[in-house]
Structure 1
Amino acid sequence: MEYKLNNFHYNVPEQDLLDDIKRVAAKLNKMALTSREYDEVGKYNSGTIHRRLGSWNKALEKAGLEAALSLNIPDKDLFENIERVWISLGRQPTHREMKPPLSKFSTYPYGRRFGTFRKGLIAFVEFIKSNDDNNLAMQNVESEKIPSEIIQDNEPVYRHKTKRLPSERLKVQVLMRDGNKCRLCGITVTGENIHFDHIHPWSKGGETVLENIQVLCETHNLAKGNLTYDS
């Protein structure tokens, strides 16, 4: 019998440890990796990684993966993450699109929280459809003293009940209704080319509510200005 000591990998470069974590995550097709899952197919030992990088979660974060603590993410944070992804894409995100850098979280915490990612989307839609107070512009005492309409340079100044910029939730509501198509030309828009326009202009008293917001492409939003078009 040959007696041989195991290699404890004390001097392995940190980047090699991180690269192997990424390799295992890719092999298992997972964004959230447990130490037990790593030990089954990893080149090194999770205990070694823990000692070298401070903790298993820190190692996952450095490797660009999700830490186990992601299971305790509040529902609000999970929903707001879908909001950002939905707005960026201009449509409902798919299972494969829920990954960095587009998404802060993968579908893993949604599946753990709601059963499946699909059920998480259903819960998200209910969240979006709930009453949204983010756009309410509560008037302070001084603004209450201002008349509803003031004539200044022959232009009326309106006192609005809502904020000018739509909230993230309202943007998603508009995208769910309009899709990612410009209401004037029908072109598909994504990312920075998605513009949220007041159908009845804000400068003419239009409020920031679902019925008065539409999706436009950059070209038509800039061309429209403060005009009112029939959509």
Structure 2
Amino acid sequence: MIGTAAGLALGGKRPFASSFALFAAGRAYEQIRNSVAYPHLNVTIAATHAGITVGEDGGSHQAIEDIALMRVIPGMTILNPVDDLETEAAIESIMEHTGPVYLRLGRLAVTRVHLEKPTFNIGCGETLTTGGDGTIIATGLMVQEALMAAEALKKAGISIRVLNFSTIKPLDEKLVLSAAKETPWLITAEEHSIIGGLGSAVSEYLSENYPTKIVKIGFKIVLVNQEILPY
């Protein structure tokens, strides 16, 4: 499928190749790396059923490493829209974009964050709430969770800035830096391993530019011989 998509792109088409995220990013990794990313083709890998919310399909189908795998590929753009309206806008932007894209999609029905289709600019984050006591940078369905947390904290007199990072690569470094300078701490939230995903991207950038206290919310444990061990 990935090889066929590469061929279609070489013929001037803009193909979308779709499968479960675990298989699209994992099983097809070498084909994506060499056949799509190496020649920098206009292929979008539309990976569905990402994260653990695939539910009853279980651990064998729960992709919590896919963002990390795609981030390390040179020239790969990574998008993780928050709702259906933003997904539609993201796809329209992809059609004007040059180069390979990893479009991360879920299975679970989620509430809309946007009331109407937003303007989607690849590489730009979105400020959903303002606040000076702390910042939550979230992506995908964790944005809804971040907004609920901010609302609960607001009732306790704590104002939280919530940022929607539907583009994970390239990272909106300007928005990250302003949050780090204007609030005392950052939390990143993602339906992915804390290694290699949004939290890593934010931490890597700030460690070299503006060291900041960061707590990464994501998957932190692994099961080895039925024993839970920390990453």
Radius of gyration: which is bigger?
1
Pairwise same-fold verdict (TM > 0.5): no
Relative to the length of structure 1, the TM-score reads 0.21
Structure with greater strand share of residues:
2
Bigger helix fraction: 1
TM-score (norm 2): 0.21
